[in-house]
Structure 1
Amino acid sequence: MTQKVGIILINYKDYAERFLVDCRDSIRELEYPRSSFTVYIVDNATTPETEKYLKEQWPEAVIIPNVENAGWGGGNNIGIKRAFADGCDDVVLTNFDTYVGKNWLSELVFAAYSDKKIGIVQSKLFLHPPRENGEFFINSLGNQFHYLGFGFSAGGNMRDGGSIKEVTEITYASGASMYIKGAVMSELGLFEENFFMYHDDLEYCLKARQAEWRIVLAPRSIMYHKHEFMRSNKHLFYMERNRFLVLLYFYRIPTLVLIAPMFLIMELGQWLFALKNGWLGTRIKVYAYFFNVEHLRAAWKRRTELQAQRKLKRDREFVESFADTIQFQEIGNPLLRYIGNPLMHAYWQVAKRLIFW
Structure 2
Amino acid sequence: MKVAISIVNYKTPQLVVDCLDSVLQEMQRLDGIEVFLVDNLSQDDSVETFRQYIEQNHCHNKIHLIEADRNGGFSYGNNLAIKSAMSHKSQPDFIYLLNPDTILHKEGIVNLVHFMEANPKVGIAGGSLVGPDGEEQGAPRRFPSILSELETSARLGAISKALDKHVVPLPLSEKPFECDWVSGASMMIRRQVVESIGCMDEGYFLYFEEVDYCFQAKSAGFQIWYVPDSVITHIEGAATGVNQRKRRGKYWYDSRRRYFVVNYGIFHLLGADLLWAIGRLSFNLRRVLRLGKSFDSAESDPTWFAWDLLVGDLKAVLSGKVFGERKRANG
Q: With the length of structure 1 as denominator, give the TM-score of the two structures.
A: 0.69
Alignment partner, residue 275 of structure 2: 265
1:143 is paired with a residue whose SS is coil
Write the mapping of 1:81-100 to structure 2, written as runs, cut at 5 A: 81-86=83-88, 87-100=91-104
User: After superposition, where does 1:209-220 map in structure 2 within 5 Å?
Assistant: 209-220=218-229
Q: Which residue number corresponds to residue 142 of structure 1?
A: 140
3-state SS of paired residue (1:266): helix
Q: CA deviation at 1:90?
A: 1.8
The one of 32, 40, 47 aligned to 2:43 = 47
Q: How far is the alpha carbon of 1:210 from its aligned partner?
A: 1.1
In the alignment, residue 13 of structure 2 is paired with which amino acid?
Answer: A
Q: How does 1:42-121 map to 2 (within 5 A)?
A: 42-47=38-43, 49-59=45-55, 60=59, 61-86=63-88, 87-121=91-125
For each residue in 1:67-104, what CA deviation from the matched residue of structure 2 results, as whole angstroms up to 9, or x when unmatched?
21011111110111111112322210011211112211
Secondary structure of 2:182's counterpart equals: coil
**Larger RCO (CA under 8 A, 6+ residues apart):** 2
Aligned to 2:160: none
Distance 1:231 1:175, change over 3 A: farther
Please identify, of 52-61 and 279-288, the stretch whose mean Cα deviation from structure 2 is larger.
279-288
Q: Does residue 264 of structure 2 align to residue 251 of structure 1?
A: yes
Name the count of aligned residue pairs.
281
Which of 123, 128, 131 is the matching residue for 1:124? 128
Partners of 1:226 and 1:188 in 2: CA distance: 30
- Residues 280 and 110 of structure 1, relative CA distance in 2, 3 Å threshold: closer
SS in 2 for 1:88: coil
Q: Distance in 1 between matches of 2:127 and 2:305?
A: 34
Question: Cα–Cα, structure 1 residues 233 and 58, in superposed 2: closer, same or farther, change >3 Å?
Answer: farther
Return the letter of the residue paired with 1:249: V
Counterpart residue number, 1:198:
207
**Pairs within 5 Å for 1:1-357:** 3-13=1-11, 15-17=12-14, 19-30=15-26, 35-47=31-43, 49-59=45-55, 60=59, 61-86=63-88, 87-128=91-132, 130=133, 136-148=134-146, 153-154=169-170, 163-165=173-175, 167-228=176-237, 229-230=243-244, 232-235=246-249, 237-251=250-264, 256=268, 260=271, 263-267=273-277, 277-278=303-304, 282-283=308-309, 284-293=311-320, 295-302=321-328
Distance 1:285 1:175 in 2: 25
Q: Secondary structure at the match of 1:184?
A: helix
Which consecutive residues of structure 2, in runs of 5 or more, have no partner in the other structure? 150-166, 238-242, 285-297
**Deviation at residue 127 of structure 1 after TM alignment:** 1.2
- Which sections of structure 1, spanning at least 5 residues, go unmatched? 131-135, 306-357
- What letter matches 1:16 in structure 2? P
Q: Secondary structure at the match of 2:137?
A: strand
Deviates more, 1:101-110 or 1:139-148: 139-148
Deviation at 1:106, TM superposition (A): 1.2
Instruction: For 1:99 and 1:302, locate their aligned partners in 2 and report how far apart those are by CA, in whole Å.
Output: 32
Q: Share of identical aligned residues, percent?
A: 24
In 1, Cα distance between the equivalents of 2:69 and 2:328?
27
Q: Cα 1:56–1:270, aligned 2, differ >3 Å: closer, same or farther?
A: farther
Structure 1 letter corresponding to 2:39: D
> Does the CA-based 8 Å contact 1:41-1:64 persist in structure 2?
yes
CA drift at 1:278: 3.6
Cα displacement (A) at 1:270: 5.6
In 1, Cα distance between the equivalents of 2:144 and 2:325?
21
- Supply the distance in 2 between the matched residues of 1:171 and 1:210 (Cα, whole angstroms): 11
**CA RMSD, aligned part only?**
3.1
Cα 1:245–1:4 change in 2 (3 A) is same
User: What is the Cα deviation at residue 185 of structure 1?
Assistant: 0.5
Distance 1:68 1:31 in 2: 30
- Structure 1 Cα separation of the partners of residues 182 and 79 of structure 2: 17
Q: How far did residue 11 of structure 1 move?
A: 0.8
